[in-house]
């Protein structure tokens, strides 16, 4: 029996968006998928030492996860995501990550870094899928079959999220790291919309486990991932000018939707300190939130210096205000 190629996926950045697709596609082509461990102090410290000071926290964490995979895998799967939809783009700092890693890390495994740019020609996707697939097989039929399997896996995962399961829990379940999925059925006093990049919300270490903290304080938490893309795109289209950042559009589109829902009692935006797109989107989120005048708003920025006590104090004060507002 042929030895399976071990392909490493860092548990950071776009892992929180596309892991089911990546995992199913690679495994269908005979690869063994290896995911780096959950973020911890060592992973973060390693990333901080390697990355430039100007990098945002998610990028520093990404570096740490890549380092954690070295020596464990034959290949790193790091697609260069420039654009994943028509006339919209990914943060430019993320586009150059494969090159930055090659320049920073010695003895780096081979990297699959196919450039994904669908900004002008979304119909190029099959061509890009074939480019990645040829790394494992020359048989187009097998690659196309793997593509369809990956699409089904992503749709299944997103269906579970729509049922109320958080992204990190679904991903762990699909990876075999958790035996099953459960929904918190405890009594909740209010509902909080938590918006931000998925890699900021669901990485429990850098987010200070904010979802669980809110839940323990009596909040039912909803995130942008609970919403269909159609809803987010429709709401984002209400902006006076087109939002050119795909991930920023998800944040502002979901915010505009949540602000119209009568059952949402509070809105929290988690952003990375030093992130250019986040500063712009954060300003829009805050403006529209205050303009609606309906629900309290809390803006939280995170970096490697963020303290657990500070986060806990702020969300406790926020939930106390929601409880007081609900009782008044």
Structure tokens at 319: 């939930």
Same domain, residue pair 15 and 117:
yes
Same domain, residue pair 133 and 262:
no
Same domain, residue pair 136 and 51:
yes
Same domain, residue pair 138 and 194:
no
CATH number of the domain enclosing 55: 3.40.50
Residue range(s) defining the domain that contains residue 81: 6-162
Same domain, residue pair 122 and 211:
no
Look at residue 167 and tell me if it is in a domain. no
- Point out the least confidently predicted range of 18-22, 223-227, 273-277: 273-277
| 328 confidence band (pLDDT: 50, 70, 90) | very low
Sign of CA dihedral 249, 253, 254, 255: positive
Same domain, residue pair 146 and 276:
no
Number of domains in the chain: 2
pLDDT tens per residue across span 283-323: 999 999 999 888 999 999 998 888 888 899 999 999 999 98
Same domain, residue pair 192 and 103:
no
Same domain, residue pair 36 and 100:
yes
Same domain, residue pair 300 and 221:
yes
Which of 162, 196, 218 lies at the terminal end of a domain, its last residue?
A: 162
- The total of other beta-carbon atoms located within 10 Å of residue 278's CB is 26
What's the first-to-final CA gap in the chain, in angstroms? 69
Whole-angstrom distance, CA of residue 267 vs CA of residue 129: 38
Same domain, residue pair 206 and 120:
no
Whole-angstrom distance, CA of residue 27 vs CA of residue 308: 38
Look at residue 178 and tell me if it is in a domain. no
Listed in sequence order, the DSSP H helices in 198-275 are 198-201, 210-216, 229-236, 246-258
CB 184 within 8 A of CB 219: no
Same domain, residue pair 216 and 294:
yes
pLDDT tens per residue across span 2-13: 568 999 999 999
Which of 111, 130, 162 lies at the terminal end of a domain, its last residue?
A: 162
Task: Say what the pTM is.
Answer: 0.92
Sign of CA dihedral 190, 191, 196, 201: positive
């Amino acid at each position: 029996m042929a030895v399976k190629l071990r392909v490493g996926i860092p548990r950071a950045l776009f892992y929180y968006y596309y892991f089911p697709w990546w995992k199913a596609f690679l495994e269908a082509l005979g690869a063994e998928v290896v995911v780096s461990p959950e973020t911890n102090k060592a992973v973060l410290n390693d990333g901080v030492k390697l990355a430039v000071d100007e990098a945002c926290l998610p990028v520093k964490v990404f570096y740490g996860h890549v380092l954690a995979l070295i020596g464990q895998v034959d290949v790193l799967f790091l697609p260069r995501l420039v654009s994943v939809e028509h006339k919209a783009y990914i943060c430019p700092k993320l586009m150059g990550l494969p090159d930055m890693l090659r320049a920073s890390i010695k003895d780096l495994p081979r990297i699959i870094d196919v450039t994904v740019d669908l900004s002008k020609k979304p119909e190029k996707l099959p061509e890009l899928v074939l480019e990645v697939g040829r790394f494992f097989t020359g048989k187009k039929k097998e690659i196309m079959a793997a593509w369809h399997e990956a699409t089904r896996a992503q749709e299944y995962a997103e269906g579970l999220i729509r049922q109320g399961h958080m992204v990190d829990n679904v991903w762990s379940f699909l990876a075999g790291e958790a035996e099953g999925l459960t929904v918190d059925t405890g009594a909740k006093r209010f509902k909080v919309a938590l918006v931000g990049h998925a890699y900021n919300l669901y990485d429990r270490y850098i987010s200070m486990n904010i979802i669980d903290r809110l839940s323990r304080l009596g909040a039912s938490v909803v995130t942008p991932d609970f919403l269909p893309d159609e809803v987010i795109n429709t709401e984002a289209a209400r902006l006076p000018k087109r939002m050119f950042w795909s991930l920023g559009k998800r944040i502002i589109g979901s915010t505009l939707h949540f602000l119209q829902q009568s059952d949402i009692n509070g809105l929290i935006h988690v952003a990375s300190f030093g992130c250019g797109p986040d500063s712009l989107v954060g300003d829009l989120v805050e403006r529209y939130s205050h303009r609606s005048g309906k629900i309290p708003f809390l803006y939280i920025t995170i970096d490697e210096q963020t303290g657990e006590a500070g986060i806990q104090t702020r969300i406790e004060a926020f939930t106390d205000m929601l409880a007081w507002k609900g009782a008044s």
